[in-house]
Structure 1
Amino acid sequence: MADKTDALPAETDIGRVALTVGDATETVEFYETVVGLSVHERQAARTVLGDGETPLLELHEDSGAPERSRSAAGLFHTAFRVPSRAALGDALERIDTEWQLSGVSDHLVSEALYCRDPEGNGVEIYRDRPREEWGETADGGVEMATKTLDRDGVRAAATGAKGAPEGTDVGHVHLEVTSLEAARAFYVDALGMNVRTTYDGALFLAAGDYHHHVGANVWNGRTDPASGRGLAWFELVFPNSRTVEAATDRLSTAGYEVTADGDGVSVTDGDDITLRLRS
């Protein structure tokens, strides 16, 4: 699937993901013990976790926030990418010991483990295969599938590490949306992502030729804008301020309201999901 003239630069990555949770204590423990992140900063109602070097996840505690309704758009999962199969094996050991898997998959481009945090937010932990092993579709996209994971092979690669290694990051964010057409209008036509592949009821979108930085699906029939607990915002990090300004201009021209937000800008998609852009 060919790049567009005004596409996002290939150096764009996912930055931090922020979740609104009712009970931060239990949720922080999950991300420390199961995912293997470490606490970088802890305030009264905000905890920042990461790989020990880079902040990856913010948990905002709000016990009064309503639970996300079954009809609301929002987070499908946050996908933490580990740098090796050994680190994935360690994650599998932690989940088996401390938690419960909800699924495992071989996606051809990656090997993935799935579970849910104490608040019901989806979590993926995965490792990418080398890019030279990725297949290409007839239209120039990336070949992905959902196949049986070699769980024994992943487990055999484990080293016994209790924490996620440095170099762990958020590889992608997968959203539940009310409309794939509206998601394409925002993330592709206005923001400048490339469509890398499609499944029945899902789009996989990226900056450059990564397999996907954002997934969007309508599998669970969400009909209402995002609200309540769950995804508060997620972040795209650009290589420089000029590329942030170009994306801001495209979004504004397409009719989306972009506002200053800390060291970057903030915009909401058609489902009221908040995206932050910064360099």
Structure 2
Amino acid sequence: MTQPYQIPATTHLGEVSLRISNLERSIEFYTQVVGLKLLERRDSVATFTVDGQYSLLRLEEIPNAVTMPERSSAGLYHFAILLPDRKSLGLALRNLAASGIEIGQGDHLVSEALYISDPDLNGIEIYADRPRDTWQRDADNNYIMGTDPVDVQGLFDLSANETWEGLPVGTVIGHVHFHVRSLEESRRFYHGVLGFDIVGNFANMSALFISAGGYHHHIGLNIWAGSGAPVNPSDATGIEYFTIVYSSEAERNQAVVQLREAGATLTQQNDVWLTVDPQQIHIRLTVEN
């Protein structure tokens, strides 16, 4: 019997692209509040980095953009910026607090997270992982996660007397989390076709977490906008694409084969393959530089 395709353990996420309504406003927000550095700006598009070389975030201003109410359509819930350590999270918290922005927070046991929204209501999580050897699974092999209060004072104490210089080198896109039309439809695509492992089947929360290589999640899926929620319109702010990064051409090619055999939409632009998920979110399939 043929084994189901499983995504390679080294696979991770790369650049996320968002549609926004006002590029100047968003550049100020993502540099001053979030702490990314502007990498390049051309006309209506800007890219952002932490190391001056690789883009983590791309923003595109679209004409007459509509901003949809939160939890009203299938699309972005949040994208998540993973910091390299807890002290970096403390410094990020200090900067967010100084900006006066509304901050949500949650201790998820596997990680500590801060939640904000950009000026177009695109959700952002800024988080740091706890050591992987402390993560625990339940009897069904789901990661045990919680929503406890974050030790805010501990983060402030850890980052005391440190200077904020923006998000540090080593910061990456940790995961993306989507409102979806159907968990089963999304499970078939992300698990059945792209081969992500199920690491959190949280039926009580109407959510499904999937990952590569035993991570607590690279993609979160939920139906909190309602089962069968309409797809986020293409003229609305929200996510345009996210990027799956494979460690070799052979591994990426196998993913392309899986998508082709499943009848998924596939196009090629230079050395990047593109597909779309059931919410019409575009996915770039790339190879590690």
The verdict on a shared fold, with TM-score over 0.5 as the criterion, is yes
Q: What is the aligned length?
A: 276
Alpha-carbon distance in 1 for matches of 2:230, 2:100: 31
Residue 178 of structure 2: SS of its match in structure 1?
strand
Alpha-carbon distance in 1 for matches of 2:79, 2:259: 24
For residue 214 of structure 2, what is the aligned residue in structure 1?
Answer: 209
Please report how far the alpha carbon of residue 241 of structure 1 lies from its aligned counterpart in structure 2 after TM superposition: 1.0
Deviations 1:44-83, CA, capped at 9 Å, x for gaps: 1110001124310000111323334663211101100001
For residue 39 of structure 2, what is the aligned residue in structure 1?
Answer: 40
TM-score w.r.t. length of structure 2: 0.92
Alpha-carbon distance in 2 for matches of 1:109, 1:215: 14
Residue 149 of structure 1: SS of its match in structure 2?
coil
**Aligned 8 A contact 2:78 2:177 in 1:** yes
**Aligned 8 A contact 1:173 1:213 in 2:** yes
For residue 129 of structure 1, what is the aligned residue in structure 2?
Answer: 130
For residue 223 of structure 2, what is the aligned residue in structure 1?
Answer: 218
For residue 83 of structure 1, what is the aligned residue in structure 2?
Answer: 84
**Structure 1 segments (4+ residues) deviating >4 Å:** none
For residue 241 of structure 1, what is the aligned residue in structure 2?
Answer: 249
Alpha-carbon distance in 2 for matches of 1:8, 1:218: 24
Deviations 1:137-160, CA, capped at 9 Å, x for gaps: 212332211111111111111223
Q: Which moved more, 1:65-74 or 1:213-222?
A: 65-74
Residue 55 of structure 1: SS of its match in structure 2?
coil
How has the CA–CA distance of structure 1 residues 262 and 155 changed in structure 2, closer, same or farther, with 3 Å as cutoff? farther
Alpha-carbon distance in 2 for matches of 1:58, 1:163: 17
Please report how far the alpha carbon of residue 220 of structure 1 lies from its aligned counterpart in structure 2 after TM superposition: 2.3
**Aligned 8 A contact 1:76 1:174 in 2:** yes
Deviations 1:238-278, CA, capped at 9 Å, x for gaps: 00111111111111211211111342111111111111111
Which structure 2 segments of 5+ residues have no match?
Answer: none
Q: 1:230 aligns with which of 223, 231, 238?
A: 238
For residue 103 of structure 1, what is the aligned residue in structure 2?
Answer: 104
Residue 195 of structure 1: SS of its match in structure 2?
strand
For residue 167 of structure 2, what is the aligned residue in structure 1?
Answer: 164
Please report how far the alpha carbon of residue 5 of structure 1 lies from its aligned counterpart in structure 2 after TM superposition: 4.4
Which structure 1 segments of 5+ residues have no match?
Answer: none
Fraction of identical pairs, as percent: 38
Deviations 1:183-240, CA, capped at 9 Å, x for gaps: 1011000110001112221111101100010001111216112322210101000001
Please report how far the alpha carbon of residue 18 of structure 1 lies from its aligned counterpart in structure 2 after TM superposition: 0.2
For residue 267 of structure 2, what is the aligned residue in structure 1?
Answer: 259
Residue 56 of structure 2: SS of its match in structure 1?
strand
For residue 284 of structure 2, what is the aligned residue in structure 1?
Answer: 276
TM-score w.r.t. length of structure 1: 0.95
Alpha-carbon distance in 1 for matches of 2:264, 2:4: 20
**Aligned 8 A contact 1:94 1:162 in 2:** no
**Aligned 8 A contact 1:104 1:149 in 2:** yes
Residue 28 of structure 1: SS of its match in structure 2?
helix
What RMSD, in angstroms, separates the aligned Cα atoms of the two structures? 1.4
Q: Which moved more, 1:230-239 or 1:253-262?
A: 253-262
**Aligned 8 A contact 1:21 1:63 in 2:** no
Deviations 1:105-154, CA, capped at 9 Å, x for gaps: 10011000001001110010000011111112212332211111111111
Equivalent runs, 1:50-199 vs 2, <5 Å: 50-53=49-52, 54-68=54-68, 71-158=72-159, 159-199=162-202
